[in-house]
Chain A
Amino acid sequence: MNNPQNDITLVERYFEQTLSTEQKEALETRLRDDAELRKIFEQERQIIAAIRLEGLRKDLAFLEERERELTARGREVYINTQWRYLAVAASIAIIALVLFKPWLSQSDRLFKQYFQAYPNVFETTVRGGEQAGTGAAAYQAYEQGDFETAADLFTILVRENNDPGVLLLLGNAQLMNDDTDKAQATLLKLLDEHNSLDDEAKWYLGLIALKEGRAEEAERYFAEVASADNVFSPNATDVLSRLRD
């Protein structure tokens, strides 16, 4: 007859791994047929599992805290890096502003001095039907200084009739509306798709480049206009000499 207290000690030593090979084998043999011993054995196994789970829980909590620290540190490094990049970008911007400010202020002054919307000298080129109504309204708006309405109506006209005069006025209306990108696209279209009004287109494209601070491009357009014999040549020569001073 086995004493339960002896069996508990035996099982305890089994899990401590302090039994000899023979004692271990003997216990495992008994476990197959002895229900009472099996109960003691399973209870001990579950108790040890519960103890170990408590230990794992503590270490898991420790790792979770460690992870929070590492994540926070990672964010801090990221933010610091971002600030460093921003600081570098800001420094570059300041240096660029200091270096180019005189040129920018001069080019802006020149743009304001020389830019004048091209006069409507094309009204008679638009003829007939619906176009006549839209065209009349467009020219009227242009002459009255309503460049937003003029730009909208000239855009409709250009879709129906790709006329160089309408393109030039549309580009000017867009420039008056401070819609520089659209004005440049319109004037480039005029330059690319037509053989007339090239000098006018180049003059205004030069002014747009001047306004946008693209010095080399502005000088190139003005040089071309200056070398040609047209109404803008004197002004182009004048702007060039002032830009090169």
Chain B
Amino acid sequence: MSDSHTIDLIRQGGQPELGKIYETYRKEFLHWITREYHCSEDDSKDIYQVSILILHDNIKAGKLTDMGSSLKTYLFAIGKNIARETIRKAQRNTPIAKERWLREYLIDETEDPTYDTIFSAATRALNALGEPCRRLIEMYYYERKNMEDISIQLHYKNADTAKNQKCKCMARLRKLVERDLTETRISSTL
């Protein structure tokens, strides 16, 4: 299967396609990362899972439509950066969890620490949001589905209805975040 075909499948697909790409490069990647960086079997798998998720997300975001290098080269470059950074941080006795890697991929850690407070509040607010809002905004912002696909999958009348619903869900989420931040500020002053 060509890279462009794989990219098309991932952009249109979901977890089944993620599972396929995971299996495609798994053996070669694990062999390579273990040999090059002397990683344990578990660490190699952790690095591979994070690398695949970043590759997958970049494809979804449309960042890899016109690549100068192959999908495999790109994937291995992601893995190389994670392995090097893991080794560098490990020397400072800082264990790196997979979730932390994913968070670092989404948010620059050098940013203002107050943003971290907003992020934590947003995570809590998201859990309080409920369905179908939660699923809708996840499909839009994470899976990068268009409103047409969302309306079909979530049984909305049309793309416009889905878009209106998405705006309402985001407004609700912002309110929940504001409330959480207010409560946090109050509790910290007590």
Contacts and interface: CB of A to CB of B under 8 A. Distances in A.
Contact of B49 (A42, A45, A50, A60): A60
Given A59-B15, A64-B49, A67-B49, A51 B99 contact: no
Q: Interface SS of chain A: helix, strand, loop or mixed?
A: helix
Interface string A190-209: 00000000000000000000
A49 B121 CA distance: 12
Interface size range of chain B in the complex: 35 or more
A15 B166 CA distance: 13
Interface string A90-117: 0000000000000000000000000000
Interface size range of chain A in the complex: 20 to 34
A185 interface: no
B142 A54 contact: yes
Contacts of A67: 22, 45, 49
A127 interface: no
A72 interface: no
Contacts, number: 93
Q: Interface SS of chain B: helix, strand, loop or mixed?
A: helix
A60 B53 contact: yes
A162 to B, nearest CB: 53
Contacts of B131: none
B98 A49 contact: no
Interface in B22-64: 22-23, 26, 45, 49-50, 52-53, 56-57
5 contacts: A12-B167, A43-B177, A51-B138, A66-B19, A66-B23
